[in-house]
Every structure is written in structure tokens, then in C-alpha cells.
Structure 1
């Protein structure tokens, strides 16, 4: 079975719309994930901004994405997405076997399937932040290169950009749960092992660290530039004061003469 995870750029996709289109009831699962099942397969609707299709063909996925009014549904590969193969293999001598391209499990287990969907969804959600920061690193360089008379404009835009970065970081912490394992792993060593191995395969922690580094780099650059602008503004005010004092002295000397 192929697991296809698609990031939904729109925020207006509701549980009700997916239930109506797919003819299935979505029920709460681990980590606030909603899960539905029918004769075709599973659908997972996550708070990471993704929808996961397990066992659905490409044409079926396109049909569902069209029905819930996702932009460019016919070419959903233009969105951020990932495929991952799940193979049921009853010949395994252990519960699961994980590799870069697939995971093999002995039998269909709803808990295992949910963990796999969560990890791949986290990977897709993280990729969104990776792309977002790459785009905004170039934007930050443009802001830093604004010179001279545009200082007021620059200060205003740097402040907006700083708020934007703070929101990105907040979204990362709240939405991805990259530092927290799913609750199901607390009392289940096998589930915890599966989550850890999948997390390593998708390099979630390393990628999260790199995103944090890029975020810190942009934030430090903005902080440095704000300090420079404040210093320039301070110097400008000092020169105004000096000029006013000189003007006052000049006027006093003129009146005295």
C-alpha cells in the first residue's frame, strides 16, 4: 500500500468536507489526528496541515482533492508531498522493518499505520518550513541591503519581518511536535521503536535543527541591522542637536553684534 501525504495550502479544509466527499466518518486518533476508513483504504487528516491517503490510487486522490477544492488538484505533486510504501509481510520475524523507501509490517495494525502517517506528515510539514525559510533568507538579504534614505522604510519592514519569523517558530513548536513522541509510544516499546526508526529515516531532528539554525541566522541578521539603524538614528539626532545649538549660538552672536 502506498501512503501519499499532501500538504494543504488552504486552511479552510474541514473535517466535515472530507467526510462528505469520502463517505466516511473521521474519528480522533493519536496527536489530534483524524482517521477515516472505507473499503479503499485509510485517510488521515492531521493538524500539521496535511491529508494522508493510504491505499488510494492517484486518480482517487485527485478526485478527492478536487472535491474539497484544493488548488491544482490534478497536479497535486506541485504541492509539498511525499510518498512512502507500506508493505504487509507476514514472513517477517519481527514486528516491522524500516528502510528509506518502505516500511514492512507483519500485519495491518491501526496504531502502527497512525505512527507512520504522523512521521511522514511531520516530514512534509517540516519541508514547508524549510522552503519558507529558504525563500525568506533571500528576502532578508534584500532588506539588509536597503541603504540611505530608505532607513525608515527599512526599519518598518524589518520589524514586520521579525514578527513573521517569530510566528514561523511558534508554528514549528505548536504544529509539528518534533520534540514530543506520540502518546502511544509511552507505554508501547514496539511503537516507540517504530517511531524512532522512522524519525531517523526522515531525519526529523537533524532537519529541525537546521531549520532552527537558519531561523536564528536570519533573526540575528535582523537584530544586527536594527541595532545599526538605531545607532544611525541616534547619530542623526545628535547632529540635529549640534546644528540647533550652533544655530542658537550664531543667532545670539548676531543679536549681540
Structure 2
């Protein structure tokens, strides 16, 4: 059997699979954990030409797209423009920013072998394409969110630099915007990509489960997930510190205003007693 090729892209934070399924006439309601698979006549109608046997595209709700046995580079743009009709935020021009390539080789009398560019198995199983695609899709989605986390860190570093220079005032809007970015990152990464969730086929097939676990381990998805979760908790701790400083400054300002008002009232009273004021 000829090697199967996989090319994964992370192009947006979220894709509504049900909108695309309805448009394509697929009578199924998709949940977060399963991909929308485009193949056969449906994929031919989207690409506008005949496709090879075994060629398909898997679209994941967390914003990743995986091409299997892609034959023309232009297919990427055509398919992404199709998805963009349903999700305007799809980044077509920067599609190659978060991507990964992989291959599935079939060699009889060979044991399972995982490498950076391919996986080798002794015989083909129907679940291989979907499981490989799922791991690749999660990997590139994680790569995208890892970079977004770096941008949040840069923003916090700027705020820390201001504190070091004695500029202690941090506006509520600035705190709210930064906190919202952290929450969005946590939702996109820890909740929506569902790193620790396993495809349905792995619950009914021990072979599929074992293969998926090995793929997850090889791509270090669980470790990357733990690192992101740890970094997110650190971000929250930093934001708590900023919030405490900001509230303390505001509280101190209010206290001084109250003291000044009391002093002003005392001065007025003394002036009245002295007969300097009516």
C-alpha cells in the first residue's frame, strides 16, 4: 500500500462543523470531539475537480484542518476559502504559520515505529487516518496557542517594567483586557482543544487506544498541555498581584481624600470659632 500523507493546519480558534455539514448535505449533528470528514463527491464539488482514491479532508471544531493524500498545493487555498464562508476569521494568508506534515507507511512483518516524519505499521487499520489526523490537529492547535501565550507574557512583562519604574497605576480596562486574553487562551487550549479527551473509536478498540496513546506520547501533547496549564496559573497569579496593587493604590487615594475632607472641616470649624467666618 502506498504511503498516506498528512498535512495539518491551525487556521482559526473555532469552526462550527454543523454549519458546514448542513451546507454539504451531511445529515449528522457533530459534537466537539469528532471531526467533519469531507471526501468523495462532496470534496470533489468543493475542489471543483476529481480527486484520488483515499483523498479526504478532516475539519476539527478547534480550528484545525488536516489534508490526507493532498495532490495539489492549491487545494489548501480552495478548501480554506470554502471554510472562510462559514468562519470569516480563517487566516488563509498565514495558513502555513502553524502546520505539520506526516506520513503513514505500511510494511508487513515490521513492528510499530514512530519517527518525526512518519509512523510505520505492519498492516492498515481503518482508524489510522482519523487518529493520526486528530493528533496532528491538536499538535498544530497547541502550537498556535503556545505562541498566543507568548504574546500575553510579553504584555505582562511591559506592565512589570512600568511597576519597576514606579508607575503603579494600572487601569481597570487594562487589567480586564489582559485577564480576558488569559481566559480566552485557557478556553481555547485547555477546554476547547480537549487535549486529554480521546476519540470515540479508542473506547471500543484496544488496538486503536494503544496506537493513539503512543501517538500522543510521541508528540508530547500531554506534557505540552501540563506546561501550558502551569504557565496559565502563573499568569493568573501575576494578574492577582497587579489587581492587589491597583486596588491598594485606589484605597490609599480614597483614604487621603477622606483625611483631607476631615482636615478641611476642622479648619472651617476653627475659623468659625475665631469669628473669621460667619
Q: Please give the range of the TM-score, normalised by the shorter of the 2 chains.
A: 0.7 to 0.9
Corresponding residue of 2:99? 81
What residue number does 2:11 align with? 8
> What does residue 227 of structure 1 align with?
244
Offset from partner CA, 1:58-86 (integer Å, 9 cap, x none): 5243353464256545x742x31111111
Cα offset for 1:236?
0.9
Please identify which structure carries the higher helix content: 1
**How well do the aligned residues superpose, as a CA RMSD in angstroms?**
3.0
Unaligned runs of 5+ in 2: 41-50, 85-89
Which residue matches 1:109? 125
Q: Which of 36, 39, 42 matches 1:37? A: 39
1:207 equivalent in structure 2: 224
User: Bigger shift: 38-47 or 119-128?
Assistant: 38-47
Q: Does the CA-based 8 Å contact 1:30-1:182 persist in structure 2?
A: no
Instruction: Give me the TM-score of the superposition, normalised by structure 1.
Output: 0.84
Task: Give the TM-score normalised by the residue count of structure 2.
Answer: 0.78
Matched pairs, number: 250
CA contact (8 A) 1:2 1:83 kept: yes
5 Å matches for 1:1-257? 1-9=4-12, 31-38=33-40, 39-40=51-52, 41-65=55-79, 67-68=81-82, 71-72=91-92, 76-77=95-96, 79-92=97-110, 94=111, 96-146=112-162, 151=169, 154-257=171-274
CA distance in 2, matches of 1:50, 1:72: 12
2:120 aligns to what SS in structure 1? Answer: strand
CA contact (8 A) 2:15 2:61 kept: no
SS of equivalent residue, structure 1 residue 31: coil
1:29–1:35 CA contact under 8 A, matched in 2? no
Contact 1:2 1:55 in 2 (8 A): yes
Q: Does the CA contact (< 8 Å) of 1:24 and 1:36 recur in 2?
A: no
* Whole-Å separation in 2 of the counterparts to 1:107 and 1:35: 23
